[in-house]
Amino acid sequence: MLKDILISMIIWVVVGCGNGSGVKRLDTRAVEKDTVLKWSQLVGESRLVRLETKEEALLNDYFRVWAGEKYIITYGNEEMYQFAADGTYIRKLASYGRAPGEYQNIIALTVDEPGERLYFSDYGRQNSIQVINLKNGEYENSLPGIYGFPKKMILAGDSVLYCIPLLLKDAAYEIYALTSSGQFLGGIKKETCREERQKNHSYLGIAGGFVHYMSGITDTLYRITADTRKPEYYFHAGYYLKEFKPDEKGEEIEMIVETSRFILFDRLFIRMADSRFGKNIITYDENRDPETYVFDKLNDGLFKVKSIYFNDLDFELEDYLFEVSEHYLCQSFSAMKFRERIKLANAPYLDWYNAIADDENPVVVLGKVRN
């Protein structure tokens, strides 16, 4: 059973520092061709959802999405809302604040749909993972945080939470697992021989029934098997920060999603800078836009992505920001922007142009990841 496989994955080992044999090297510096990637290549089943507009649940342009089979959860600056899979509004789950069940800045969120529970970590409560009951929308309890709180968190198998700690420098584990009740199952120990640097981005995903992850101190994508951590892909973006001095520039990789055939990721351009929070922080290089790449496992090809073509909507999108849950990719559009797009496209949703007002809640495109 999947549960037994995933539990057995938590047999804790320390692997060596090398990349290992058979690891595919993906070097963005050698890419000369770009491509238009079809949405249908990344996802199987796809659906368009209008999030119901309610006076008590009005979304601005700055919200995030978690999508599953039963629910769509939106969260952002002020409130967290629960919608049904068809976009019907259900209830408000949480608001901005410091009390139990409230939040200030959500870092990681995942949902156990069969168990009707939502888990999230928040800057405002740094030593816990909060739990909300989705049957009634009430705050249920908090799980103990380990090394602060997770900056990435997914649910795999029968309610096993996999977490990447926020502060890897101070953590004994790069990734650890908890039961849904908060029991610590163990983790994969951080390699002491690694360079002690912390990237802004880590990745946790599920592909082929296995948990895949990229930690904050490496550009290697690992697959966790029954008794080891196996490196599968090594990404090379170019020059990495070494001195960590003011104005030093570098590059790093941010994973977006892995499917059965494709790996989609960004190449980010970064620099060291000073801020009101302190000296020598890592920030984005405002003079260079991120670049998106796709690796085709079937044809062993690496391409720079020029745009994403949404088949059902008959338009290309050059500026996209995917939200990724365990099994879904989501692209949201404001009602106004969606109307502008479909007006110009020969799409089957053209009749939505007159059915949607510019000030309504956003429209989301949901695609089930091909795995």
Least confident of 253-262, 275-284, 296-305, 351-360: 275-284
What does pTM read for this prediction?
A: 0.85
- Long-range CB pairs of 56-61 (<8 Å, 24+ gap) are 56/92, 57/81, 57/89, 57/92, 57/361, 58/361, 59/361, 59/362, 61/334, 61/362
Does residue 270 sit within a domain? yes
Q: Return the number of other C-beta atoms located less than 10 Å from residue 2's C-beta.
A: 11
pLDDT over threshold 50, residue 23: yes
Residue partners of 247: CB distance under 8 A and separation at least 6 = 271, 272, 273
Confidence of residue 303 (pLDDT cuts 50, 70, 90): very high
Residue 81 in contact with residue 57, Cβ under 8 Å? yes
- Which structural domain range is residue 39 located in? 30-369
Residue 1 lies in a domain: no
State the total domains in the chain: 1
> Does 178 fall in a domain?
yes
Which among 211, 269, 165, 261 is positioned nearest to 10, based on CA atoms?
Answer: 211
Kindly state whether residue 209 falls inside one of the protein's structural domains: yes
Specify if 124 maps to a domain.
yes
Q: What percent of the chain has pLDDT over 90?
A: 34
Which residues does 84 contact at the CB level (< 8 Å), separation at least 6?
A: 70, 71, 72, 90
Residue 158 lies in a domain: yes
CB 174 within 8 A of CB 155: no
In a domain, 350, yes or no: yes
**CB within 8 Å of 337: residues ≥ 6 apart:** none
Measured in degrees and rounded to the nearest 5, phi and psi for residue 197 equal -130, 150
Model pLDDT, residue 329: 92
Quote the DSSP letter at residue 96: B
What values do phi and psi take at 169, rounded to 5? -60, -35
Q: Which of 52-56, 184-188, 366-370 has the highest mean pLDDT?
A: 52-56
Instruction: Encode pLDDT of 92-141 as tens digits.
Output: 998 888 887 788 888 889 999 999 999 998 887 777 899 999 999 999 99
CATH number of residue 343's parent domain: 2.120.10.30
Comparison of pLDDT for 347 and 155, the residue scoring more: 155
**Per-residue pLDDT, 80:** 92
User: In whole numbers, what is the pLDDT of the chain averaged over residues?
Assistant: 82
Q: Give the tens place of pLDDT for each residue, 167-192.
A: 666 677 878 888 888 888 888 877 65
Residue 24: inside a domain: no
Instruction: Dig out the tokens for 296 from the structure.
Output: 């085709």
Q: Are 159 and 180 in contact (CB under 8 A)?
A: yes
The pair of three-digit structure tokens given for residue 183, joined into one six-digit string = 């029991």
> Quick check: 16 pLDDT over 80?
no
